[in-house]
Amino acid sequence: MRPLLPLLRLQSYQRVVSVGFPLNSSLSPGWRGLGAFCIHFLQPLQMSARQGSSLISPMDELLKSSVPQLPPYETKEKCPPPPELQSVHFMQYYRALDKGERAAFIDQLAADFGVDHAQVAELSSKVVQAQQKRDMGTVLQVEDRLRYYLTPQYKVLFCHLGKLEEGMKFLVDMRADILDSVTSKLADGPHIREMSGVLKSMLSEWFSIGFLNLERVTWQSPCEVLQKISEHEAVHPVRNWTDMKRRVGPYRRCYMFAHSAMPGEPLIVLHVALMENISGSIQAIVKGIPCTEAEEASKVKSAIFYSISLTQQGLQGVELGNYLIKRVVKELQEEFPQIEEFSSLSPIPGFTKWLLGVLGSQIKESGRTELFMESECKEIEDITGGTLSESLKCLFASNEWMRSERLVKALEAPLMRLCAWYLYGEKHRGFALNPVANFHLQNGAVLWRLNWMADTSPRGGTASCGMMVNYRYYLKNTSANSAKYLTMKYIEASDQLLNLVSQFTKNSKL
């Protein structure tokens, strides 16, 4: 059925056993068990290879022995858990696989140990029959039984793994592997996506707000925590330890969510700048304050969320960011009651890519673009010495234009109104196309201010032509704004953004 799997399994076990685990008392019981476990399955596999016979592969054997059967409905409350060592062996085996082997393992687990579809079909027909007879007592009983048998077999395994030491971290990492396998096309299909959804649902319960601890990160925090935060910073990469020290120093705050089942592991991290007003430049934030300057509380009037990064990719889709911002706001209000303004300073990933796509499409169809006014086209052509279409392709293919004062000035008006439209008008299923915009708008923030040349780093130039945006959090209105966005897909925006959008609709055509 899967001709590639036996070879992958054999290579995996040969690699694990070749490490050479002497079965002596100097090793922990878990490692001694792993060595015996590998040898137990490797020997018959090697004999099979020599004799040409077809025995059950180690991966098949492991899955059959490790994935518990769904107990009968009548005895679901009395079924004993599987031996702990069996689940430990499962985790050790999986961790020893390489990327391709893990994808094959995940594929087999999802395909062969899901829902019993025959049982579900039978119970579904019984529900219909009971409804036709209008026997509500029987309907409810059969529906309860049906809900139970909709449980995938691998979910029972996940429940047991989640109770083990390091089991929660294992499941988070495993879901990261599932997502990576789908993205890289190593393993895909409805059964894979279903298992990812089941695991996401379980993690959403285990990592709900009541089980999370808010921790402030300082220069005195464990070195391992600082290192992990630095490595997983996804918005503005940390350059060195001095940079990291600045980000947890005076006029800066760094907070993270942690979970008792994953000690020392940041789940999601929020960086905050404490300033006198809402900043429109990221350079002023990440480079502005010496890490030795004394902090004066009287100068703190605004809190700017300038970076939020998920450090556990297996928790994608689990709602953490919204809760983290709300908890941090309460924390800051207690420390600085005088703070009046809460805002983000956010990147605009995807704008340059979107712009190049629209330009390319218009030029291909008509040989020209209608995104720029005639006077703007002439000014850009005069500066570059070429036709507008060719000039724009060359300009946005790199960030060199940001070094020219004339080009920076000439492009400000057209790019500002185009970016405003991208944030406000470009939609996916009725919601904001830009993922960062969608995140903050769901949280109830206002699309408040677009900032020109706010991020002049190569990263900022490539992603959004140097622009950044403030999403303003008016605390009294966030719930109402969130509800309007989620139910009516209405975007609350400031006059500046609405004026730019109006300019776009008058002067540009899509």
Give the catalytic positions in this structure: 346, 440
For residue 8, what are the contacts with CB-CB under 8 A and spacing of at least 6? 59, 97, 100, 101, 104
Other beta carbons within 10 angstroms of residue 290's beta carbon come to 10
Indicate the helix (H) or strand (E) that contains 282.
helix 282-286
Q: Is 383 left (phi over 0), alpha (psi -120 to 50) or beta?
A: alpha
Q: 340 φ, ψ to 5°?
A: -110, -20
DSSP 3-state of 427: strand
| 353's tokens | 């890519």
Bridge partners of 421, per DSSP, are none
Q: Is 391 left (phi over 0), alpha (psi -120 to 50) or beta?
A: alpha
Other beta carbons within 10 angstroms of residue 201's beta carbon come to 13
Q: How far apart are CA 311 and CA 289, in angstroms?
A: 26
Q: How far apart are CA 465 and CA 458, in angstroms?
A: 9
**Burial class of 134 by CB neighbour count within 10 A (0 to 12, 13 to 18, 19+):** exposed
Q: Are strands 468-473 and 341-344 parallel, antiparallel or unpaired?
A: antiparallel
Rg, Å, the chain Cα set: 28
* AA letter at 176: A
Instruction: Select from 204, 184, 167, 3 the least CA-distant residue to 90.
Output: 167
Q: How far apart are CA 266 and CA 244, in angstroms?
A: 15
| 154's tokens | 């691998």
Q: Scanning the structure block, which residue is given the tokens 């449980």?
A: 151
| 152's tokens | 């995938």
Q: How far apart are CA 66 and CA 48, in angstroms?
A: 23
Q: First CA to last CA across the chain, in angstroms?
A: 50
